[in-house]
Copies of this chain bind each other. A is one copy, B any other.
Amino acid sequence: MTRRGYYAAVDWGTSSFRLWIIGQDGSVLAERRSGEGMATAAKTGFQRVLDAHLAAVEAPDHLPIIICGMAGARQGWQEAGYLETPAKLAAIPGKAIAVPDVDRDIRILPGLAQRDERQPDVMRGEETQLLGAADGLGGGRHLVCMPGTHSKWVRLSGETVEGFSTFMTGELFDVISRHTILSHAVADADAVAGDNPAFADAVAQAREKPALATNLLFSVRAGQLLYGLSAADARARLSGMLIGLEISGALATAGSVDGICLVGSGGLGALYRSALESQGFAPRLVDADEAVRQGLSAAARLIWPL
């Protein structure tokens, strides 16, 4: 490394690992990405995975590490607990825990928990995206959508998380398209295109009649049998129904908000943008990768001031 690193920022999810070496001026000096998420690292060893990536970018020995995500889960590297809602985002760094018995200063950020017996919920990693994204939102009440395997919708008031809701959209899309009778209908189709009319149509149907969700799913199969629905349209309908149902539920519990913010990236971010726009919303867009790096950096600068 030509310039001296200030800290390393790591987003360690269930199935992905991302590391950035950040300089004192905030610039990214090096970056690593791999599939060695918690699921893999729990077997091969968290320290071993981290050390290999640090060595690959020739990170100095003293470099401190800030981590968010599933590495802090009970079945992760070191349990980092939860901050409870309502939670001030600025309180997150103060609850970071140090990984014991290692040669560096390694801190893992806590997750957020909603201890409500009727609507219990948890997140790990998205709170750090929020910390990074919230800066740009200004004051007021915002609804922040973070799509993914388990999509999160956060009710943010200023810098306080009032509450949030997780929707199993991504995981359901995966298991329904692979393991149910719909697998025949959606087989061999490409990734869903947000501009496919079948997608927007399904978003609208599910938003209008959420109670019919599992009936609408079956209609993909019936549509194939009776109308020769193509695999691409079938896949678009399945995706649109699950995302439309999610939007319907998130908005039903949101109350009055000043705006919707979409923290996403890649194809999935584009799909949610398309779904929201088709329903008449104009979400503010924040890149998810950027947000998590900024959140990790905000925490690092508080923990290790220059």
Question: Among the interface residues A169, A209, A219, A249, which one has the most CB atoms of the partner chain B within 10 A?
Answer: A219
A211 and B180 form a contact (CB under 8 A): no
A175 to B180, CA, bound (A): 7
- Say which one of A117-125, A267-275, A288-296 lies at the interface with B: A117-125
B120 and A219 form a contact (CB under 8 A): yes
A179 and B175 form a contact (CB under 8 A): yes
This chain: how many copies in the complex? 2
Give the shortest distance, in Å, between A121 (CB) and chain B (any CB): 5
User: Which chain B residues border A306 with CB–CB below 8 Å?
Assistant: none
A219 and B121 form a contact (CB under 8 A): yes
Q: How would you classify the secondary structure of chain A's contact residues: helix, strand, loop or mixed?
A: helix
User: Which chain B residues border A225 with CB–CB below 8 Å?
Assistant: 120, 122
B176 and A226 form a contact (CB under 8 A): no
Query: Given known contacts A115-B226, A171-B181, A211-B252, what 7 new A-B pairs fall within 8 Å (CB)?
Result: A121-B219, A150-B181, A167-B214, A209-B249, A211-B249, A213-B213, A213-B249
Binding site for B on A (CB under 8 A): 113-115, 117-122, 150, 165-169, 171-172, 175-176, 178-181, 205, 209-215, 217-219, 221-223, 225-227, 242, 245-246, 248-249, 252-253
Nearest first, the 7 A-B pairs at minimum CB distance are A210-B211, A211-B249, A120-B222, A211-B248, A212-B249, A166-B218, A167-B214
A-B pairs with beta carbons under 8 Å apart, 7 shown: A115-B226, A120-B223, A122-B225, A166-B222, A169-B214, A211-B249, A213-B245
